Amino acid sequence: MTSAEEEHDYLFKIVLVGDSGVGKSNLLWRFTRNEFHLDSKSTIGVEFATKTVYLEDGKVVKAQIWDTAGQERYKAITAAYYRGAFGALLVYDITQKVSLENIPRWLRELREHVDNQIIVMLVGNKCDLRHLRQVEIEQGKKLAEEEGLLFLETSALDSTNVEEAFTQLIHEIYRLMKKKALVNESTQSFALKQDNTVVIRDPSAAKSSKKKKCCT
């Protein structure tokens, strides 16, 4: 990797969550490499890839995107990979109704392991398979509204909304980060750049440091 490729203002960890076979890996590779593998098999363990995203104010984000295995037998390893995530794509397959029905369980698991202000987008993948659709777009929108999530339907096969899903998520993370940077240090969760990464601050540490300061 060249030094130019390494230069970034922020590093955002994003996780892909959902049942095995919904297309998480192909969303990852379509976004980061513009590739699609029709014969791709279920992810064994965890994969990740990175992509640089340029924000409207000139800031540069390195998105580190993790593909967590959706199969239940790998559940034991997922906690460590959720940790530190700033955003998540919660993915279901529009041709498999059960994958949408499992979304609340995945969302509960996600929220157990991450900051409660993580930005989450619900993604209905494989929207190119309209003739096999089992989940209407209104059903996805309704669930997203009920849970306070962003929402898009995508197709990793023909690229529909893949770029939009990731970039919208990244922009929302950045907007929240800037908002949090304006609040009192004792309550903020996000900290600005530190060694070219975005870190989560410990509110208790902030309070401790404030106590050591003299009044003026």
CB contact set of 163 (below 8 Å; sequence gap of 6+): 31
CB contact set of 115 (below 8 Å; sequence gap of 6+): 189, 200
What's the confidence (pLDDT) of residue 85? 95
- 3-state SS assignment for residue 55: coil
What's the confidence (pLDDT) of residue 209? 44
- 3-state SS assignment for residue 114: coil
What's the confidence (pLDDT) of residue 69? 66
What's the confidence (pLDDT) of residue 48? 87
CB contact set of 171 (below 8 Å; sequence gap of 6+): 55, 56
State which fold the 7-211 domain adopts.
Rossmann fold (3.40.50)
Residue type, 62: K
53-63 in b/e form (b: 16+ CB < 10 A) is: beeeeeeebbb
pLDDT tens digits along 84-111: 999 999 999 999 999 999 999 999 999 9
Question: Angle at CA 163, nearest 5°, toward 158 and 164?
Answer: 110
CA 210/CA 213 separation, integer angstroms: 5
Under-50 pLDDT residues of the chain: 1-4, 184-196, 199-216
- State the residue for tokens 């967590």: 68
The residue extents of the domains of the chain are: 7-211
